[in-house]
Amino acid sequence: MKAWRVNEWCEPDQMSFEEIPTPDPGAGEIRIKNKAAALNFYDILLIQGKYQVKPPRPFTPGSEIAGLVDAIGEGVTGFNLGDRVQAIASSGGFAECSLAPAAKSFRIPDAMTFEEAAAMIVIYQTSYLALTSRTTVRPGEWLLVHAAAGGVGLSAMQIGKALGARILATAGSEEKLQFCLSQGAEHAINYKDGGWVDQVKRLTGGRGADIIYDPVGGEVFELSTKCIAPEGRLLVIGFAGGTIPSIAANRILLKNMSVIGAYWGGYLEHHPQYMAETQAALFQMYEAGQIKPVVSQAFDLKDAAMALNALATRKTFAKVVLTMQ
């Protein structure tokens, strides 16, 4: 089968597209003939050797896949050959076939496309964790979502709105602002405008945002503490901006605010049943029309380096996927 391989830490355009043996599933695994694989920003860091997890080389990047079950390992029940599934790949997703733990694989609704399915797992699970387990949303609260036109931001807007929040979104271009409004944001603010903090205060009647969802970090995190409401919750999702921020504890004290981490991968280590329970809830929300993954661009598998470059240069919104025949 054809697969992208990282033989040494490198830039995405230095990966090699190779013919490698098709893997056989081990105990507890299924093999999936991929139809789509989603890209995430952490894939770039993984290829560069800058991610907190460093797999042994050579390896195939990519984690979110969707396709057809074409082999079933020992001890696996609940799946049949030909099932339409989404999964977290254990052998890498940027390939024609991938292995996945059966416990991290799910049959998808009939109406869901493979592209939607591949684009769903990590971002919607992350936002569901953040907004239902790490904090809870009270109807009518203001939820400020940073980088809202990206995949994880989009999922936060959709889930937050389904839970009754009023959505404020930030993004970096007029096209992305309009996209946020089309996805249910009441107001969309350009974070490149130095006055965005004041805009948040004005739009919330001077109170500030009750919940702030921050996948960016850096200066965005710092400024968020200036427009959070008393007793507000600042959700730390990640650091796409490249800088890990710090905060003066007196600011937490004076505003009675909470700073809350929402690290989905770490949460699963302590709550292994959470993924299946959450995916069932997310499928219900999908079938009720409350959430819908958005794929802005699809590239052929052979063009993975081009797709990763588009992601790295912020030329995309929502999710980007690779497709396979």
pLDDT digit string, tens, across residues 25-39 = 999 999 999 999 999
Report how far residue 294's alpha carbon sits from residue 148's, in angstroms, rounded to the nearest whole number: 12
* DSSP-derived secondary structure letter, 129: I
- Whole-structure pTM over 0.85, yes or no? yes
Question: Rounded to 5 degrees, what are φ and ψ at 112?
Answer: -85, 130
Report how far residue 3's alpha carbon sits from residue 66's, in angstroms, rounded to the nearest whole number: 16
pLDDT in tens, 182-218: 999 999 999 988 899 999 999 999 999 999 999 999 9
**For tokens 């802005």, what's the residue?**
296
Interstrand relation of 16-19 and 295-300 (parallel, antiparallel or unpaired)? unpaired
Sign of the torsion formed by the C-alpha atoms of 220, 150, 184 and 191? positive
Report how far residue 307's alpha carbon sits from residue 316's, in angstroms, rounded to the nearest whole number: 9
- The pLDDT of residue 50: 87
Cα-Cα-Cα-Cα torsion 310, 196, 263, 90, nearest 10 degrees, comes to: -10
pLDDT in tens, 152-177: 999 999 999 999 999 999 999 999 99
Token code pair at residue 125: 């699970």
Report how far residue 92's alpha carbon sits from residue 15's, in angstroms, rounded to the nearest whole number: 14
